[in-house]
Amino acid sequence: MPLLARYARLLNDGLDISLERVDGRAILRFASRVPLNRAAADFQLASFYRGFEREPPGTPLEVWLMHEEPADRTLSERAFAGASLRFSAPCDAIVFDAALVDRHIPKPNRKLHQLLQRLAEERVSELPMAEPLTHLVRERLAAELASGSPSADHVACALHMSRRTLVRRLELEGTCFKAILDDLRLSLARRYLAIDRVGVSEAAALLGFSDAPAFTRAFRRWSGQSPSDYRRARRTDAN
């Protein structure tokens, strides 16, 4: 899965793919940097779903779709045949048993793998690095939040630089690691809390908090409201 996320840019430089583990489930998350309408987003996700290896037979699969449930589910059920569909989800994703992530491939061809990885690395290195570091750090954090709160050291290592270099370059862009992390969490928290079916505990887990009370304290510090108060205020404004 890490290889898929890293080399996805070779196929589509407007798509970010990340893997999260939550309560025994693996969430393969798809986030487009380019605004997509519902049909385009579903087509993109269905393309990956069709190539998804569903083994052993009978492995339960769930597909998350951010848009609301359509009046007629026929096309969605045909595109994602065999999967349970969840509409108005916090992200577009394919969800499956986390145990499959660690399953070994029988009789792997290690030499071929090394050759293909080396060629892929060469192609990735040739891609333009036009994105500011702030955006790259935010992407890395978004991909790993549900697995815990990634440290600056961890993110720096993932971006192939030292922590000192990371700190210095973020300062040049007028920000810091904690500010990016807090801003990302607040932005995602508001998105999750806008969806009634996403509970506070689930939002806390997706944001990398150890429990719901820790999330509630952080959200109150950022916004001056508890998650429940924020959700009630949104409902009042909507009415």
pLDDT value of residue 60: 59
Q: Which residue has the tokens 């990735």?
A: 124
The tally of CA atoms less than 13 A away on the side-chain side of residue 172 is 8
pLDDT value of residue 57: 54
**What does pLDDT average to in each consecutive run of 10 residues of the chain (239 residues)?**
67 76 86 77 87 59 90 92 90 86 74 83 65 84 82 88 88 90 93 88 90 94 92 76
pLDDT value of residue 130: 45
pLDDT value of residue 90: 85
Q: Which CATH number fits domain 130-239: 1.20.1600.10, 3.30.230.70, 2.40.70.10, 1.10.10.60?
A: 1.10.10.60
pLDDT value of residue 121: 79
pLDDT tens digit sequence for 33-67:
666 778 888 998 998 888 765 555 556 589 999 88
Q: Where are the domains of the chain?
A: 2-102, 130-239
For strand 84-86 and strand 62-64, is the pairing parallel, antiparallel, or unpaired? parallel
